[in-house]
Amino acid sequence: MAGEGRPPGEFVEVDGVVLHVVRDGRGDGPTVVVTSGLGGAWCDWDLVAPELGRECQVVRFDRPGLGFSALDPRPQTVRGEAERIAALVAKLGVRGPYVLVAHSFAAFHAEGFARLYPEQVAGLVLVDPSVEASPRARPAADLRVKAAHAAGAAFRLTGLSRPLGPALRWLAVLALSRRGRDVAADPHWARKAYGSGRFLAAAFAENTVYRDQAAELVALRKSRPLPDVPLRVLAGAGGRETLAVRARWLRAQRTLADLAPQGHCTVLDDAAHLLMMDRPDAVTAAVREVLTEPKPD
């Protein structure tokens, strides 16, 4: 265990918010920046990061309120999250350009970073990424986020967050992974993070601005092109959804990969949405492929 008094990793203040960061691997190798989906945390990648760390430096960080990061009262945006990533890697002093690995909802932020900071990107690996065809932003994001944080605080004050948060993670793993069990290397710290009350506040807040960020990304695509770097989309086709829903999802994943000249979609029939838990080998293989892809002239 990493120690009863302190979770694994380090804490870094970025734009007034203290973020939880876990680094794996060699500091002299390429840098891979890893970010989780809605409600996820550093421990989602415990089967991936140590393996990649044999040849790369892997930086995992928790967005505000998730894992052991502090909450941010401001509404989350794609641009804001891209700026957070840029500020974090600068604060850590890790060299670029970076390969960004992002799961689900975090794919919005990774793509946004690539469009806003193209010179800092060596490639993208999007793990069963979120895709929205025609999203629309909703009004009053500030009020919605305040309400989400208040709801999370209520669960914390009543003590309900301690059993509810870990239970929600367990249910998500059961529903969204074929593995059917958590991959967290240190269950003690995973339970502490998910039972904190911050998790519920952050998850509620991210959920309430999800479509706002999808709409923001669609607008960003019209003004900022993707850099000509390798893009790998890993699509999970082994979940419990209907065949019609699965077919629509896979079409959307392939369309996303087609946004980049060097884009490619790999469909995995033996993985569900938590693909990094079901097929960590596929994620590490995709990162290695991106790192060794010949650069265009």
Rounded-to-integer distance, Cα 99 and Cα 288, Å: 10
Q: What is the mean pLDDT of residues 203-227?
A: 96
String of DSSP letters for 107-126: HHHHHHHHHH-GGGEEEEEE
133 by DSSP, 3-state: which? coil
DSSP character at residue 232: E
Choosing among 3.40.50.1820, 2.60.40.420, 3.40.50.300, 2.60.40.1190, the CATH entry for 10-133+213-292 is: 3.40.50.1820
Whether the pLDDT of residue 5 is over 90: the answer is no
Q: Which residue has the higher pLDDT, 17 or 180?
A: 17
Supply the pTM of this predicted model.
Answer: 0.95
pLDDT at 28: 78
Query: What are the sequence ranges of the domains in the chain?
Result: 10-133+213-292
pLDDT digits (tens, 9 = 90+) for 130-187: 999 889 999 999 999 999 999 999 999 999 999 999 999 999 999 999 998 999 999 9
pLDDT at 89: 97
Rounded to 10 deg, the angle between the 141-158 and 198-208 helix axes is 160
Which tokens is 87 given? 């500020």
Rounded-to-integer distance, Cα 166 and Cα 41, Å: 12
pLDDT digits (tens, 9 = 90+) for 274-296: 999 999 999 999 999 999 877 66
pLDDT range class, residue 44, cuts 50, 70, 90: very high
